[in-house]
A and B are shown apart, each in its own frame.
Chain A
Amino acid sequence: MRVTFFDINGAAQHVEGRAGENAMECAKRNAIDGIIGECGGAMACATCHAYVDPRWIARLDPPEHQERDMIDGCIDVRPESRLTCQVILEDALDGIVFTVPDSQV
């Protein structure tokens, strides 16, 4: 399945996602700049923040409150902000698009 990561200046990288992995793992495996995910996906570090393209937001389950709390403490938060470690890639998300924020910190 295809996953696209835009950087903040609009440059796109299209990568191959694996069903079942989360978008943070997918980004790291493909060396996408700016997604760090240092805690490994436990919602404990707040360094895998990205914006989900608004057209895809409705297809995701809304964030649970622990994720919500972590997002609230991130930098440059927008309504479509998510922690990528909480977005599990599945076939229905083939083509999903993220934009990586300027900085995680």
Chain B
Amino acid sequence: MPDADLLMPDVDFAYDDVPDLHERIVQLRQNGPVVPVRYHGDRTWLILDHELVKQAFEDYDHFDPAPGYQQIAAPSMGQTIQTMSGDEHRISRGLVTAPFLPSKIRSLVEDLIEPIANELLDRVAGKEVVDLVSTFTRPYPFMVITRLLGIPVEDEERMLEWAIKMIDFPWDPDGAVRAKEQFQAYMQTIIDDRRANPTGDFMSMLVQAEYEGERLSDERILGFVGLLFPAGSDTTYKNAGSLFACVLADPALRERALRSPRDRELIVTESLRWQPPTAFLPRMASNDVELGNVQIRKGEWTLFGITAANADPKVYPDPHRFDPDRDNRDILTFGRSKHFCLGMHLARRELETALRLVFERFPHMVLEKGEPVEFVGAVLRGPRALHVRPYGQREDQN
């Protein structure tokens, strides 16, 4: 493909850290709503405009996500709701939806989410300086998923190794496939157990689910639970980091974070708008299409510029200001339409719970001076690390 017209040819959005992503988006926008950039070495269309990203999400004739996920995810993950379309997707999604709906997720806050957050925050307690990402925000959503799946605590470590390896397919295909086989063999024992003795837990809900006369085969359950790790863990932890980076930097926000559940909802939502973990979402065009005066061919890759859409000044005035009180009902952080994020309620309750517990337990927590926070990544974006002092600055350091 010709590279001559590439904008910012020095950057590859698949590999580079792009710490200045927001500034680059502002520059790119001057060239139109859909612009050619480099991604995995090739020219790729980046969609920047809120209305166009929304429209593309809703356009299954030209941007059906399934064919693209067949290429990039199915080889290591198998068939999942991401690789399906039409009725197959509707029914398969219908079978797994119930455990992710608001009433179910609300009941998980006290029973599952809070205890995990507290357990991890115990490791922050007593420390003078600590990286909040590696001690808290990264393991937290991962543990929510393993405990949701009924995996015993002593096996969490193994599970983490498999989960990391499974998404390593592009770099280590054999290792990824081996990890998937080990993961599936392990999960099969839990499925067998719940089929024999349903307990009402998450896995029991899956094995008993029925939708339009269909039930989930073991293979479908294995594909689905495998998807939960990349979809629900890597995303949520990146956002948790961005959320704390923001709130720790602003005393007014920190004070507000302790005020009410509604205030926490608003702060979390604004952090999701401002620094979405799925900054640019790769999507293959499933048919020829014209978008924003650009001709896109079937099979070409695009990037849905979620971060750019969420900062489109036509929809979000003064977009770089962090303002929890703006109208954020149409942020595109969780996607849009039929493949809209299934775990949105879970992710939000995790983030709101983290926000409350961190500042209840460590009201004086501050960012370590001299360790500036660096946000990295254009596909999955968040702070590399967050060095904090849980008990604030010592007197002699002020």
Interface residues of A (CB under 8 A from B): 28, 31, 36-40, 42, 44-47, 65-66, 69-70, 72-75, 77, 104-105
Determine if B104 and A38 form an interchain contact, defined as CB atoms under 8 angstroms apart.
Answer: no
Residues in A with CB closer than 8 Å to B115 are: none
Give the distance in Å from the alpha carbon of A36 to the alpha carbon of B344 in the complex. 13
Of B117-125, B217-225, B328-336, the one with at least 4 CB within 8 A of chain A = B328-336
The yes or no answer to B94 lying at the interface (CB within 8 A) is yes
Determine if A36 and B329 form an interchain contact, defined as CB atoms under 8 angstroms apart.
Answer: yes
CB distance from B202 to the nearest CB of A (A): 14
The yes or no answer to B61 lying at the interface (CB within 8 A) is no
Give the distance in Å from the alpha carbon of A77 to the alpha carbon of B104 in the complex. 13
Contact with A along B197-211 (1 / 0, CB 8 A): 000000000000001
Determine if A75 and B344 form an interchain contact, defined as CB atoms under 8 angstroms apart.
Answer: no
A-B contact count (CB 8 A): 73
Determine if B338 and A105 form an interchain contact, defined as CB atoms under 8 angstroms apart.
Answer: no
Of B15-23, B95-103, B250-258, B298-306, the one with at least 4 CB within 8 A of chain A = B95-103
Determine if B329 and A37 form an interchain contact, defined as CB atoms under 8 angstroms apart.
Answer: yes
The yes or no answer to B345 lying at the interface (CB within 8 A) is yes
* A65-B212, A72-B101 known, 6 other contacts, Cβ within 8 Å: A38-B330, A40-B340, A66-B90, A69-B211, A77-B103, A105-B106
* Closest 7 A/B residue pairs (Cβ): A73-B101, A39-B340, A44-B340, A42-B337, A42-B338, A105-B102, A36-B329
Interface residues of B (CB under 8 A from A): 54, 57-58, 90, 93-94, 97-98, 100-106, 211-212, 265, 327, 329-331, 334-340, 342, 344-345, 348-349
Contact of A73 among B103, B329, B339, B348 (CB under 8 A): B103
Closest B residue to A104 by CB, please name it.
Answer: B102
Contact of A45 among B212, B265, B327, B340 (CB under 8 A): B340
Closest B residue to A27 by CB, please name it.
Answer: B329
Determine if B102 and A73 form an interchain contact, defined as CB atoms under 8 angstroms apart.
Answer: yes
Give the distance in Å from the alpha carbon of A36 to the alpha carbon of B337 in the complex. 14
Closest B residue to A40 by CB, please name it.
Answer: B336
Residues in A with CB closer than 8 Å to B212 are: 65
Looking at chain A's contact residues, the main secondary structure is loop
Give the distance in Å from the alpha carbon of A104 to the alpha carbon of B262 in the complex. 11
Give the distance in Å from the alpha carbon of A39 to the alpha carbon of B341 in the complex. 9
Determine if A74 and B101 form an interchain contact, defined as CB atoms under 8 angstroms apart.
Answer: yes
Closest B residue to A28 by CB, please name it.
Answer: B329
Given A28-B329, A40-B54, A105-B345, verify A70-B97 contact (CB < 8 Å). yes
Give the distance in Å from the alpha carbon of A75 to the alpha carbon of B340 in the complex. 20
Give the distance in Å from the alpha carbon of A31 to the alpha carbon of B331 in the complex. 15
Give the distance in Å from the alpha carbon of A44 to the alpha carbon of B97 in the complex. 9
Determine if A38 and B344 form an interchain contact, defined as CB atoms under 8 angstroms apart.
Answer: yes
Closest A residue to B262 by CB, please name it.
Answer: A103
30 A-B residue pairs with Cβ-Cβ distance under 8 Å, sorted by A, are A28-B329, A28-B330, A36-B329, A38-B330, A38-B340, A39-B334, A39-B340, A40-B58, A40-B336, A40-B337, A40-B340, A42-B336, A44-B93, A44-B337, A44-B340, A47-B102, A66-B90, A69-B98, A70-B97, A72-B101, A73-B100, A73-B104, A75-B106, A77-B103, A105-B102, A105-B105, A105-B106, A105-B345, A105-B348, A105-B349
Closest A residue to B265 by CB, please name it.
Answer: A105
Give the distance in Å from the alpha carbon of A72 to the alpha carbon of B99 in the complex. 11
Residues in A with CB closer than 8 Å to B342 are: 44
Give the distance in Å from the alpha carbon of A65 to the alpha carbon of B103 in the complex. 18
Give the distance in Å from the alpha carbon of A42 to the alpha carbon of B57 in the complex. 12
Determine if A42 and B340 form an interchain contact, defined as CB atoms under 8 angstroms apart.
Answer: yes
Given A38-B344, A69-B94, A105-B265, verify A74-B329 contact (CB < 8 Å). no
Give the distance in Å from the alpha carbon of A47 to the alpha carbon of B327 in the complex. 15
Give the distance in Å from the alpha carbon of A105 to the alpha carbon of B269 in the complex. 13
Contact of B334 among A28, A38, A104, A105 (CB under 8 A): A38
CB distance from A75 to the nearest CB of B (A): 5
Give the distance in Å from the alpha carbon of A35 to the alpha carbon of B232 in the complex. 25
CB distance from B50 to the nearest CB of A (A): 12
Give the distance in Å from the alpha carbon of A40 to the alpha carbon of B336 in the complex. 6
Give the distance in Å from the alpha carbon of A36 to the alpha carbon of B104 in the complex. 19
Residues in B with CB closer than 8 Å to A38 are: 329-331, 334, 340, 344
Give the distance in Å from the alpha carbon of A37 to the alpha carbon of B344 in the complex. 13
Give the distance in Å from the alpha carbon of A39 to the alpha carbon of B339 in the complex. 9
Residues in B with CB closer than 8 Å to A66 are: 90, 94
CB distance from B59 to the nearest CB of A (A): 12
B102, B106, B339: which has the most chain A beta carbons within 10 Å?
B102
Residues in B with CB closer than 8 Å to A46 are: 101-102, 345
Residues in B with CB closer than 8 Å to A45 are: 334, 340, 344
CB distance from A39 to the nearest CB of B (A): 4
